[in-house]
């Protein structure tokens, strides 16, 4: 989190909760970076958070309407399209590994499932899938993002409160 870009994003975001740092860790990578401005604007109330379907609100509320984590994509597949957790995980793998030949199969299963499970029109089911698809391709597992954020937080604390000891330990750890 020490790059100039990340420092700028942190200044714009003004994180006030650990979850904000977790989200930045997941977003600050090629692909999801394009959603950082929307995340920041939604968080600060500059833009209104909207949901394509009411079932998406409890899943996306903590991330201000943005699907950041693979876990959210899986939950959307389960809650909106009626996938089992193992089916949702298969969808995540297909999208995450960009198995282009299998995406149309899962797309149709998602759309059909959403129409049956959530009583939505085909058009809305397609919109929800189109919303989920890019996030699934780049999404971080939330636990992974939490682990990185915890290290970043601890490192920042040590640098701010024990700078000499921190730098000494850092230099010693890489002396060879």
Using one digit for the tens of pLDDT, what is the confidence trace for 129-173? 999 888 777 888 999 999 999 999 999 999 999 999 999 998 898
66 exposure class (CB count in 10 Å sphere: 0-12, 13-18, 19+): buried
Rounded to two decimals, the pTM is 0.87
Mean of per-residue pLDDT scores for the chain: 93
């Amino acid at each position: 989190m020490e790059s100039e870009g990340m420092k700028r994003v942190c200044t714009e975001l003004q994180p006030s909760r650990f979850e904000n740092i977790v989200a930045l860790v997941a977003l600050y990578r090629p692909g999801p970076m394009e959603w950082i401005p929307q995340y920041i604007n939604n968080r600060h109330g500059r833009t209104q958070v909207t949901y394509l379907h009411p079932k998406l609100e409890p899943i996306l509320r903590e991330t201000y309407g943005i699907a950041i984590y693979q876990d959210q994509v899986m939950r959307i597949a389960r809650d909106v399209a009626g996938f089992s957790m193992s089916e949702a995980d298969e969808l995540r793998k297909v999208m995450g590994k960009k198995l282009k030949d299998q995406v149309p199969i899962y797309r149709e299963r998602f759309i059909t499932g959403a129409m049956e499970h959530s009583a939505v029109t085909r058009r809305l089911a397609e919109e929800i899938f189109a919303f989920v698809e890019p996030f699934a391709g780049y999404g971080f597992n939330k636990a992974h993002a939490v682990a990185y954020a915890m290290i970043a937080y601890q490192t920042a604390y040590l640098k701010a409160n024990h700078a000499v000891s921190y730098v000494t330990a850092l230099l010693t750890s890489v002396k060879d």
